[in-house]
Amino acid sequence: MASVARSILKKPVKISLVQLLSGTDKAANLKHAASQVAKAASGGSNIVVLPECFNSPYGTEHFPKYAEPLLPLPPVKDQAPSYYALSAMAAENNVYLIGGSIPELNPSTKKHYNTCLIFGPDGALLSIHRKTHLFDIDIPGKVTFRESEVLSPGNKVTLVDFPEYGKIAVAICYDIRFPELATIAARKGAFALIYPGAFNLVTGALHWKLLAQARAVDNQIYVGMCSPARVLDSSYPAWGHSMILDPMAAVLAEAQEDEAIIESELNEEKILETRRNIPLETQRRFDVYPDVSAGKVAYEEPDLVG
Ligand SMILES: NC(=O)CC(=O)C(=O)O
């Protein structure tokens, strides 16, 4: 039997997911995001989450046009308006901000990424997650998408320490389909898995809630999935239905398709109770499936920040 890191949530924390309505005007998107983050914070949230590609439309044709150079950190102010807008949103509202994602350009390699920036309440950058599994699918006649035509993948599991509360794993959208990433983060002590994500009307209807519940029930921790609001006349209408689930995979809060802010309070007792009642962590049989735990984990690699 294997021992695992306990999930630690030092004190209850209120989290808000902003299901944001974005359009084609980046400056307007940033301004609107700032007003919605302020609204979420004024309701008492300590952690606020924005959706995938909150500053731009979602689509391979849009990524290069909206991309900002972030490296070397800190980025040049007038080239990275989204970075500085997110930092200001966190500082002005005294919240931790999981800044959805933005298209990123690495100016030296010319590679593009789908990148989440995470800021602390003082406005300092805490971590960066680049979407690790690119969304390349083809369901004939329904949905075809090839992020890899434009984007490069990130290469790590991102576990962010929020010193007052504990650790949160952050990944983006298609990353949720890979349970290994979530399980590694949970074993390293995360109390929540947060996924900014933009599923579509085909896969959203089939898999969005299923995957959220699967990751919660696999790992017995909180899960949050934060979508853009649905814009039916856009090239990629998002599924919406941002949701927060508890460690038993019960839905605590769910948006519909329109812009909305959903919130929940997370506490450690619910994690511990779930793990007491269904004690998966002491029942695992790594002697039967040792390869699952033996892989080299890129989480150990240096983060871009720090
Ligand atoms: N947009 C994504 O990255 C993922 C998605 O829509 C899906 O997995 O389905």
Using DSSP's 3-state secondary structure scheme, residue 85 falls into helix
Q: What angle do CA 286, 246, 95 make, to 5 degrees?
A: 110
d(CA 303, CA 296): 16
Which string of b and e fits 249-285 if b means at least 16 CB within 10 Å?
A: bebbbbbebebbbbbbebbbebbeebbeeeeebeebe
> From atom 6 of ligand 1, which residue's Cα is the shortest distance away?
199
Mutate which of 62, 129, 136, 203 for ligand 1? The one with the most ligand atoms within 8 Å of its CB, which is 203
Contact 194, 212 (CB under 8 A): no
Q: Which atom of ligand 1 is nearest to the CA of 131?
A: 3
Q: Is residue 5 pLDDT above 70, yes or no?
A: no
Q: Can you give the length of the chain in residues?
A: 306
DSSP for 19-46, written as a single string: E----S-HHHHHHHHHHHHHHHHHTT-S
Check if the beta carbon of residue 283 is closer than 8 Å to that of residue 1: yes
pLDDT tens for each residue of 129-140: 999 999 999 999
Helix locations, the chain, DSSP H: 26-42, 63-66, 81-93, 179-187, 201-203, 209-219, 268-277, 280-283, 291-294
pTM over 0.90: yes
Instruction: Say yes or no: CB of residue 227 within 6 Å of ligand 1.
Output: no
pLDDT score recorded for residue 3: 47
- Confirm or reject CATH 3.90.650.10 for domain 13-300, answering yes or no: no
Name the helix (H) or strand (E) containing 49: strand 47-49
Looking at residue 304, its pLDDT comes to 74
Confidence band of 2 (pLDDT split at 50, 70, 90): very low
Cα Rg of the chain, angstroms:
18
**Which member of 53, 116, 173, 226 is catalytic?**
173
226 catalytic? Reply is no
**Ligand 1 centroid, distance to 84 Cα (angstroms):** 27
186 and 151 Cβ atoms separated by less than 8 Å: no
Nearest atom of ligand 1 to the alpha carbon of 175: 3
Rounded Cα distance between 97 and 46, Å, is 9
The interface predicted TM-score of the complex, written ipTM, equals: 0.98
10-53 pLDDT, tens digit each? 999 999 999 999 999 999 999 999 999 999 999 999 999 999 99
User: Which amino acid is residue 84, in one-letter code?
Assistant: Y
Q: Is residue 75 a contact partner of residue 69, using CB atoms and an 8 Å limit? A: yes
Residue 116 falls in the annotated catalytic set: no
The answer to whether 173 is a known catalytic residue is yes
pLDDT of residue 45: 98
225-255 pLDDT, tens digit per residue, is: 999 999 999 999 999 999 999 999 999 999 9
Q: Are 175 and 249 in contact (CB under 8 A)?
A: no
Q: Where are the domains of the chain?
A: 13-300
